[in-house]
Structure 1
Amino acid sequence: MTRTARRNRRTAQVAGAGAAALLALSACSSSGSDSSSAQSDSAGSAASDSGGVSGTVTVFAAASLKESFTTLGRRFEKEHPGTKVTFSFGGSDSLAASITGGAPADVFAAASPRTMRFVTDAGDASGAPATFVRNQLEIATLPGNPDKIAALKDLTKSGLKVVLCDQEVPCGAAAQKALDAGGLDLTPVSYEQDVKAALTKVELKEADAAVVYRTDVRSAGDKVEGVEFPESADAVNDYPIVQLKDAPNAEAARAFIALVRSAEGRQVLTEAGFLTP
């Protein structure tokens, strides 16, 4: 082989080796890029799964929602690890006053549209409230119903100690509406600040009966006995829920409201005796 031929052959070998090296480098680079892309996709998927929900979500809710929302709060924390749901339960009017007064909260669930309007009219709601359940009144009597209460008019019997919610509270306003529908005049021994307080009077045997929600009668178990009455159909309350305008944790607020309005949330609420809207 001539010197020229050998030189040409050596040049071809070097060129081939260089091409092979470039191909190998390209393959490594491509592999690294795919791996990085996969890791990025995985991280993005994880972030998407978490939905950005973290931290504490503060919910102000009507007293009649206590048992159901407590159950949903536990489910929310389980579905969103690292979150915590704190509740403030009470009369809807008192809660609304706290919100318009600047109390920090993320979500408000009221027992009537009227009390929700206090918050929306003050400009403290983010978006329009949505009705998620309805509730109907029932009479709570002592276990065994010793006073033989069978109708709303029986609460007007002389000597019977009856408790009502304050008329500024949704359950009190609904009770008065039912009494008006039946043409009845009732003077209770006391007006209570929320439905749980009214129910407690009967549970402690400090009253013979109270007009409360059917959900509260159910949650009390054998501590009271419930009596249905037809006038309650004229006083069914819609329950609206809304994210608050200055919610400290807006992302978690939206997620909690979504749970309440989901099929899972509806199941918990209907099992407690609430009606679907």
Structure 2
Amino acid sequence: MSRGARYTVLAVAVAIVLPTVGCDDDEDPQVGAGSDTASGQGDTPSGTVTVLAAASLTESFEELAGQLAREYPDLEVVFSFGPSSGLVEQVISGAPADVLATADPTTMDEAVAADVVDGEPVVFARNALTLAVPAGNPAGVTGLADLADDDLRVAVCEPQVPCGAAAERLLDAAGVTAAPDTLTTDVKEAASLVALGEADAALIYRTDAAAEGDDIETLDVPEADEIVNDYPVALLADAANPDGARAIAGAITGELGRSVLAEAGFLEP
């Protein structure tokens, strides 16, 4: 079975046992059954849950946590956002955390191979790249081909992080050899450079471009529709608060998570 198929099947299987927020039984019998089972396991989760999440999830996960505060008033969610590859390295090195959410299956697979994940990852969202320029497009960028122009200030994520790997695939598909001036450690850094006018163009996720509001404009890149990153989430084997971790992971993969992520521009898995 291919990696993509394995993640898709497991997303259904894990959704049965993870608690979800706001789902009706007639909406999805399997998810509803999982919710009933979870609700009978004991008290409402409490304590602190530490979530390591890809930088591109920052706004969405903070919004999700704010809404979950009403559902779990005794549960404190602590986020650490950053490049997925770096987060996986932290977990493998023993950094204390309960939940891991990465921006592609490749980085999550490293955590699985290192036996730091409890169970199987669940793909909960997808994301695609766009060509971002500062408001007003002062450099007159017209498309991906312009990223090969040495006179432009171009920012692209480092190749070992998901946004950089996706950028490489996109540029290959378009037959463009980019000449980046800056390789950023994560997509938020690249988006910030464009928003501040310190880069003329960058390849960033559509959701991060949207998060910058009017400070960024985007240009249509037809090839980007074929270069889409799956986002998996997993419970960690050494979670200090497994009940809280299951509650948060269930919210991410459930109806509330889908609603918040869709509002931010993420695609459904």
TM-score, normalized by length of structure 2?
Answer: 0.83
* Aligned-residue offset at 1:49: 9.6
8 Å CA contact 1:133, 1:240 repeated in 2: yes
Between the aligned partners of 1:152 and 1:258, the Cα distance in structure 2 is 38
Q: What corresponds to 2:258 in structure 1?
A: 266
Is 2:221 aligned against 1:240? no
* Aligned-residue offset at 1:48: 5.2
Is 2:140 aligned against 1:148? yes
Is 2:241 aligned against 1:225? no
Give runs of aligned pairs for residues 125-204 of structure 1, distance below 5 A.
Answer: 125-204=117-196
Between the aligned partners of 2:239 and 2:197, the Cα distance in structure 1 is 41
Q: What corresponds to 1:59 in structure 2?
A: 51
TM-score, normalized by length of structure 1?
Answer: 0.81
8 Å CA contact 1:141, 1:210 repeated in 2: yes
Equivalent residue for 1:82, pick from 64, 74, 94: 74
Q: What corresponds to 2:201 in structure 1?
A: 209
Q: What corresponds to 1:26 in structure 2?
A: none
Counterpart residue identity of residue 86, structure 1: V
8 Å CA contact 1:181, 1:234 repeated in 2: no
8 Å CA contact 2:234, 2:249 repeated in 1: yes
Q: What corresponds to 2:28 in structure 1?
A: none
Root-mean-square deviation (CA), in Å? 1.4
User: Which has the higher mean CA deviation after the structures are superposed, 201-210 or 108-117?
Assistant: 201-210
**Runs of 4+ that moved beyond 3 A:** 47-52
Q: What corresponds to 1:255 in structure 2?
A: 247
Structure 2: gaps spanning 5 or more residues: 1-38
Give runs of aligned pairs for residues 11-30 of structure 1, distance below 5 A.
Answer: none
8 Å CA contact 1:100, 1:124 repeated in 2: yes
Structure having the higher helix fraction is 1
Counterpart residue identity of residue 107, structure 2: T
1:154-189 CA distance string (max 9 Å, x none): 222341110000000000000010000011101200
* Aligned-residue offset at 1:52: 3.5
Q: What corresponds to 1:22 in structure 2?
A: none
Is 2:105 aligned against 1:105? no
Between the aligned partners of 1:262 and 1:166, the Cα distance in structure 2 is 31
